[in-house]
Amino acid sequence: MRRLMEFYQFFWMFESHAQQRLAWEDAAQARIARARAEAQAAAQLRAMLTANPSGALGHGRLNDRAALERSGLL
């Protein structure tokens, strides 16, 4: 019986190492996805501020000269 348990533990060790490697790969992919999402959010924020630099979302216009002058960008 002891020999059987040693055999089982030996192969379970390989399985647990394989699962650990999969977890590391998943974590790496999650970090990449998070970095992409943060970059996309930052790009979207820059695009929103470029389109409406006055900060009054909903009332702005693209290339509104008066808003650009009030915000000090012109």
By the 8 A CB rule, do 45 and 37 touch?
Answer: no
Structural domain span for residue 8: 2-70
- What is the DSSP code string of 20-58? HHHHHHHHHHHHHHHHHHHHHHHHHHHHHHHH-TTS-TT
Rounded to 5°, angle at Cα 36 from 20 and 39: 145
Q: What span, in angstroms and rounded, lies between the C-alpha atoms of 57 and 51?
A: 10
pLDDT in tens, 4-63: 889 889 889 989 999 999 999 999 999 999 999 999 999 988 888 887 766 665 655 667
Token pair, residue 22, equals 């999969």
- The answer to pTM > 0.75 is no
Provide the pLDDT for residue 2. Answer: 86
Total number of domains in the chain: 1
